[in-house]
């Protein structure tokens, strides 16, 4: 069973949603980045998503673009990112870690070679942000052969034919974007329950909402729409960027957002009280 499947099973039994944290590998330098990855898990992240820095990240807003630039300026390349993933994997054998990057970087290494190196480093999944879903099938098949789960992006506006393809190919989880546009917390998302329902009807991997999640209320809204989890990126990346100790800064934010994936114990008490009355 994959690490994602084990995680969703465990959280399902506990009645919790999954909290995913995104950061850019090598931001602002490899050593700090390794400490931040550790702090995300200590803070309570259930799954980690990591960017490999790319010079033209079309899906990213200013916060993540700046993180990619910091990392590139520190001289970080794909091989360094794979080393960071391998280091993470040796410390955290059970925590799913997925790569998020762009097609150019994959093709620069050779598709198959990239997938095999990612699997060897201990990555669980790969999301290629600029890969059109209708073109994804050969990529997804090669990823699976290498032992990597392909993650595809679905939106409320995705046409039915593409959504069927996404549901069929996405593995580990299905990335649901909560709004159009680029990553960032400038605008909060809208968590469409009908997207979640359509994906479930198509038998898709667990839907996880991302884009614009920065507050506990966003986490609760996404889970109330039926999602299995959420991913926050820019909020965590900016907390780290603004701090003198990035690792110390991300942990409390992650625990605050993770706490919102748990059922509120006071509500449970009220419910049982109401039942007793
Ligand atoms: O930054 P936000 O708005 O919290 O969104 C998550 C996001 O950063 C992360 O999942 C991500 C970073 N770059 C991407 C490109 C495409 C899809 C998703 C992403």
Residue 179 confidence (pLDDT):
80
| Ligand 1 pocket member 155 (CB < 6 A) | no
Give the ligand 1 atom nearest the CA of 189: 3
| Gap between the Cα atoms of 246 and 251, Å rounded | 9
pLDDT 10s digits, 25-50: 999 999 999 999 999 999 999 999 99
Q: Which residues are part of the catalytic machinery?
A: 49, 60
| CA atoms of 12 and 7, how far apart (whole Å) | 8
27 lines ligand 1 (CB under 6 A): no
Contact by Cβ (8 Å): 174, 149: no
pTM: 0.94
274, pLDDT greater than 90? no
Residue 180: its pLDDT value, please? 77
In testing the pocket of ligand 1, which one of 19, 20, 22, 25 has its CB within 8 Å of the most ligand atoms?
22
The pLDDT tens digits for 41-93 are: 999 999 999 999 999 998 999 999 999 999 999 999 999 999 999 999 999 99
Residue 265 has pLDDT above 60, yes or no: no
Q: Whose CA is nearest to atom 6 of ligand 1?
A: 233
What's the gap in Å between 270 CA and the centre of ligand 1?
Answer: 36
- Distance between CA 215 and CA 253 in Å, rounded? 9
The whole-number pLDDT of residue 264 equals 61
Question: 31 exposed, middle or buried (CB, 10 Å; 0-12, 13-18, 19+)?
Answer: exposed
In angstroms, what is the span from residue 40 Cα to ligand 1's centroid? 16
- With a 6 Å cutoff on the Cβ, whether 125 touches ligand 1 is no
Q: Which atom of ligand 1 is nearest to the CA of 153?
A: 17
Q: Give SS3 for 208.
A: strand
Residue 11 in tokens: 């959280």
Question: Which two structure tokens, joined as six digits, stand for 97?
Answer: 């870690």
pLDDT tens-digit readout, 143-152: 999 999 999 9
CA–CA gap between residue 87 and residue 81 (Å, rounded) = 10
Residue 234 near ligand 1, beta carbon < 6 Å:
yes
Does the CB atom of residue 211 touch ligand 1 within 6 A?
A: yes
**pLDDT surpassing 90 at residue 169:** yes
């Amino acid at each position: 069973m994959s690490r994602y499947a084990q995680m969703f099973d465990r959280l399902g039994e506990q009645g919790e949603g999954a909290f995913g944290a995104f950061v850019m590998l090598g931001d602002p330098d490899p050593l700090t980045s390794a400490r931040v990855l550790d702090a995300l898990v200590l803070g309570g992240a259930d799954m980690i998503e990591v960017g490999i820095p790319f010079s033209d990240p079309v899906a990213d807003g200013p916060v993540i673009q700046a993180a990619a630039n910091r990392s590139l300026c520190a001289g970080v390349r794909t091989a360094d990112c794979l080393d960071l993933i391998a280091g993470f994997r040796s410390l955290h054998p059970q925590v799913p870690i997925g790569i998020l990057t762009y097609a150019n970087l994959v093709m620069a290494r050779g598709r198959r070679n990239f997938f095999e190196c990612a699997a060897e480093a201990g990555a669980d999944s790969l999301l290629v942000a600029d890969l059109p879903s209708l073109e994804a099938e050969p990529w997804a098949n090669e990823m699976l052969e290498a032992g990597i789960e392909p993650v595809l992006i679905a939106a409320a506006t995705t046409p039915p034919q593409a959504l069927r393809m996404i549901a069929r190919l996405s593995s580990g989880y299905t990335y649901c974007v909560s709004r159009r546009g680029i990553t960032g917390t400038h605008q909060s998302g809208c968590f469409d329950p009908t997207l979640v329902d359509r994906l479930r009807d198509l038998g898709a991997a667990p839907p996880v909402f991302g884009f614009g999640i920065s507050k506990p209320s966003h986490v609760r809204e996404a889970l109330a729409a039926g999602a299995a989890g959420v991913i926050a990126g820019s909020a965590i990346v900016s907390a780290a960027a603004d701090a003198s100790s990035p690792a110390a800064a991300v942990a409390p934010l992650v625990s605050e957002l993770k706490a919102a994936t748990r059922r509120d114990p006071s509500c449970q008490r009220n419910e049982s009280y109401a039942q007793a009355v």
